[in-house]
Structure 1
């Protein structure tokens, strides 16, 4: 397959995605339908075209939580999982790591969280069987909910760590608190042998990346693109092999960069930083993994070999076990 041909099918490229928020990937039609079933009015969440409507990142967080409010039961999350994975599979994703927050799934109660997780995993297993997409979960605490609630979330993570819940991270408003406030939660997750990731370098600038690296010691950084403003930090990321979960469409839609052509992903890659490509909250940002690949192809001339490299990086950085990686590697080779 040549990407230089007109009408190239970017969905046909097998992809690994490492940065996907489960609720943030909910198709608007799914949330509207669920709200209608429950007779809950969340009309302000949508614009006249039926898309999610928000003004800026902080309003986006409010809309995100309002949309999530209709997800009340494990069954709701099972249905959500199916809807999300259908969208991902249609875009060529063969492996996804989805961010899950017990804050929204049982109020951080371990027993309730287990019920939600069981429902999510059953739906994910069915999607793997029926659609060929492999899923693993990363539990995230919500930064602007504070460090005490993060400890409860970390306990949920530690109690359900294993072959499916493979990681722990932090998301939310980067301007709320400091990474060191959440060190206890990350230590708890580390002791449970969960791999670690942390959102930074999206709104907080390069210093937020340094703070996350030093206080939380994650293997991956969610976003991390503002590191480009500090080349010493960029070189550190490259030297230490820290992987960035880059979401270009999200960064452009939220106004961090004016367009993909001026996004720093290519500069980071050229300087030796390990970068991957993800969608973040795809329907909020009117994107898919196929659209991300197409945009990067047109902006930077990326061809099949670059996308293959990106996916090899994602495979190496994935938090799943080696047996799963070996199976995915074979699928990438077969599709190459």
Structure 2
């Protein structure tokens, strides 16, 4: 593949199924907001202005510090505009983002609805002006514990609809067990929400199996450690589970030493439905264009393979049939 072909490949329309709305916040946006509020967040930034953290657990604390200045619906509206502008600049036409009721009003239903209204208004403007569609996945935080997940799940269930289309779970995978959160996932399922959860990033393949068997999810966030057990890989194929893979995130955080050691190609070749996302792009110094370029260079992925990645993503997207039809048209126009 020559440079011209690569350039065309990385500029094709894209779909992201695994992002965190706060984690997409540009560092300059958070610094500016902190200055407006006279909040000192200097410790979470490097001299070059990027986010500063040592490891995954420290990353979570820096992440939560950054979100501390997002204290109201208006800030989340501004955040939504900023992150969708950056995603659209990377040719993303459809994006799903984890939105935590804990960070949006402390899982108070009335406050949560106010935050959602502000986010949706900003998303509607971005869709009109930039051609990017956003859908939200309400997200309990795993290391906050099962009891705090219940009001977050209730917020999701009470606002399920065209915009909030799923329930996920983020946070520290090493805290507790997937089954501890079954009550919250059952509540969301009864409300008609699609289900996903982070698993198989820091813990091994058994965590992926438990996510599927104990929570009944149709997608797995990351899920890459499933590659260490072919029985789990085969289970993903048999149950038609799609993986929301974030290669750049996995490499940056040290799950894998380098992209050539990442199992995304082995999983895809085996028959697992994989997709590609950025997770928390400014934290991990990545973009969707960079992800596509890196995958093309390291694994030789061409347009045909990315077509299959697109199909996997559309099929697994947590949106209605009309929205999927619009996404397919946007992809076909490339």
Normalising by the smaller structure, the TM-score range is over 0.9
Note the aligned Cα RMSD (angstroms): 1.0
Taking structure 1 as the reference length, what is the TM-score of the superposition?
0.98
What per-residue deviation string (whole Å, max 9, x for no partner) do you get for residues 144-200 of structure 1? 000011000000000100011000011100111111110000000000000000100
Gaps of 5+ in 1: none
Taking structure 2 as the reference length, what is the TM-score of the superposition?
0.98
Contact 1:3–1:304 (Cα < 8 Å) also in 2: no
Deviation, 1:218, is 0.2
Equivalence for 1:307 = 306
Equivalence for 1:285 = 284
Matched, 1:215 2:214: yes
Equivalence for 1:62 = 61
Contact 1:18–1:318 (Cα < 8 Å) also in 2: yes
Q: For the residues of structure 1 that align with 2:213 and 2:175, how far apart are their CA atoms?
A: 17
Equivalence for 1:41 = 40
Equivalence for 2:188 = 189
Equivalence for 1:296 = 295
Equivalence for 1:329 = 328
Contact 1:3–1:303 (Cα < 8 Å) also in 2: no
Deviation, 1:7, is 6.4
What aligned pairs does 1:143-154 form with structure 2 within 5 A after superposition? 143-154=142-153
What per-residue deviation string (whole Å, max 9, x for no partner) do you get for residues 243-288 of structure 1? 0000000000000111111110000000000000000000000000
Contact 2:6–2:293 (Cα < 8 Å) also in 1: no
Equivalence for 1:113 = 112
Deviation, 1:216, is 0.3
The number of residues matched between the two structures is 334
Contact 2:14–2:92 (Cα < 8 Å) also in 1: yes
What aligned pairs does 1:1-336 form with structure 2 within 5 A after superposition? 5=4, 8-335=7-334
Contact 2:97–2:135 (Cα < 8 Å) also in 1: yes
Gaps of 5+ in 2: none
SS of match in other structure, 1:166: strand
SS of match in other structure, 1:82: helix
Deviation, 1:5, is 3.0
Q: For the residues of structure 2 that align with 1:96 and 1:41, how far apart are their CA atoms?
A: 32
Q: For the residues of structure 1 that align with 2:142 and 2:177, how far apart are their CA atoms?
A: 9
SS of match in other structure, 1:25: coil
SS of match in other structure, 1:141: coil
Deviation, 1:62, is 0.3
Q: For the residues of structure 1 that align with 2:280 and 2:175, how far apart are their CA atoms?
A: 20
Q: For the residues of structure 1 that align with 2:6 and 2:100, how far apart are their CA atoms?
A: 38
SS of match in other structure, 2:51: coil
Contact 2:9–2:303 (Cα < 8 Å) also in 1: no
